[in-house]
Amino acid sequence: MANRGISVEVFTRATSSDQPPAAELAPGVLVRHIPAGPFEPLGRDELPAQLCAFTSGVLRAEAFHEPGYYDVIHSHYWLSGQVGWLARDRWGVPLVHTAHTLAKVKNAALAEGDKPEPRTRVFGEEQVVAEADCLVANTPVEARQLVSLYDADPHSVHIVAPGVDLERFTPGSRDAARDRFGLPRDAVVLAFAGRIQPLKAPDVLLHAAAHLLQRRPGLRDRLVVLVVGGPSGTGLEQPQALRELAVALGIEGQTRFLPPQPGERLAEVYRAADVVAVPSYNESFGLVALEAQACGTPVVAAEVGGLPVAVAHGVSGLLVPSHAAQDWAAALASVALRPDRRAELGANAVQHARRFSWQRTTDALLDTYAAAAHSFRNAVRAEVAV
């Protein structure tokens, strides 16, 4: 957006006293670090208690400008939506909201042993949906969920698929990527990247790998299960659970754990893999799947949420309709152990990912902002008439 001449300001909670009040991320993009609570990361359950402090900081930043300085608010996730709702009324500008995930959808697709989202979040989402001038859904599935589960006005819902930085996530040398992470060049590498929590289901990949070794014991010396990410959400309650599972399944020698990686190294993770697994129980879209495909790596994903949009089944990867270990083992093997098919899917994956560029997403968001402004002006005129 900044490249289009549009000034962008991002408000986020300060997590360190070393962070400046404002920092230029790029020309035209300013990040404001708002003090709200302790200077440290907080769990999702702790964040609602900081809504007042965060809202105060956002409103205070705007107060230093002339009225009308901001033209539109785009909130992401329900907590920011609560702040945006108040700022919208205070500043007299339209509110666009992207949920990213929805509590009612997550609660309907809980992994075994996972905790449901609290009622507080459900109420908060319902309020934001009711107040937003426009809602951005990642896929048609999410748009329908907003309408059917949250009574959203269908005319206020705009479908905008997330985009991928196609300059960063590009095909590259698999051998060079494996050398960077110390992986054998002849290994069969199954990769997972994401938050380590039940919803993302990295355990499904481990169970599938163990099942694959039972069926093909000759793979034991070549198989590498690469898990990239850190505990998050309910996964924080048992941060070592995945490592313990690898031991229990007898694949600790085949499993490698890496902490979350910055963008450039994450691209190398995708390039190093024969296949990237996205076994989530729910995904509003599945950006990891798209990033991996942009790097030329086929994806095997769960057939849930927005993943059927992110992955073209049989073209750029495979969709698995269950979370059973045997089904996942078969799907992963059919890609990772067949070089010709892997190469074909990988080439198609690059073409598929190019349909989801940052430029396309920006165009669609700007159209949504224009629609939100039109809706907001009409609502104001209606109030004045009354």
Q: Which residue has the higher pLDDT, 71 or 110?
A: 71
Residue 101, marked binder: yes
Per-residue pLDDT at 386:
47
What is the model's pLDDT at position 376?
A: 85
**283 in a labelled binding site:** yes
- Given phi > 0 = left and psi -120 to 50 = alpha, else beta, which region is 300? beta
Determine whether the annotation assigns residue 261 to a binding site.
yes
Determine if residue 270 is labeled as part of a ligand binding site.
yes
Phi-psi region of 229 (alpha: psi -120 to 50; beta: other; left: phi over 0): left
Which 8-state DSSP code applies to residue 11? E
Domains in the chain (CATH in brackets) are: 2-163+358-385 (3.40.50.2000), 174-354 (3.40.50.2000)
Model pLDDT for residues 326-368, shown as the tens digit of each residue: 999 999 999 999 999 999 999 999 999 999 999 999 999 999 9
Instruction: State the residue for tokens 């599972």.
Output: 245
What CA–CA distance (Å, rounded) separates 256 from 333?
19
On whether 291 is known to bind a ligand per the annotation, the reply is yes
Name the strand (E) or helix (H) holding 90. helix 77-91
Q: Region 188-199: what's the mean pLDDT?
A: 94
Using DSSP bridges, classify how beta strands 255-258 and 223-228 pair: parallel, antiparallel or unpaired: parallel
Instruction: Supply 153's token pair.
Output: 């006005």
Predicted pLDDT at 377: 81
- What does pTM read for this prediction? 0.88
Q: Is 121 annotated as a binding residue?
A: yes
271 is in an annotated binding site: yes
Burial 253-290 (b: 16+ CB within 10 A, else e): ebbbebeeeeeeebbbbbbbbbbbbbbbbbbbbbbbbb
Which pLDDT does position 157 carry in this prediction? 97
Any idea what the Cα angle at residue 323 is, between residues 318 and 326, rounded to 5°?
A: 80
8 A C-beta contact, residue 211 and residue 118: no
239-295 pLDDT per residue, tens: 588 999 999 999 999 999 999 999 899 999 999 999 999 999 989 888 999 999 999
Q: Tens digits of per-residue pLDDT, 113-160?
A: 788 999 999 999 999 999 999 999 999 999 999 999 999 999 999 999
DSSP state of 196: B
Task: Reply yes or no on whether the pLDDT at 213 is more than 50.
Answer: yes
Looking at residue 233, what is its pLDDT?
53
Residue 173 CB neighbours (<10 A): 12
Instruction: Name the token pair of 324.
Output: 């059973």
Q: What is the residue-wise DSSP string for 181-207? A: HT--TT-EEEEEES-BSGGG-HHHHHH
Please give the radius of gyration of the chain, using alpha carbons only, rounded to the nearest integer.
22
> How does pLDDT run across 9-20, given as a tens digit for each residue?
999 999 999 999
Please report which confidence band the pLDDT of residue 380 belongs to, taking 50, 70 and 90 as the band edges: low
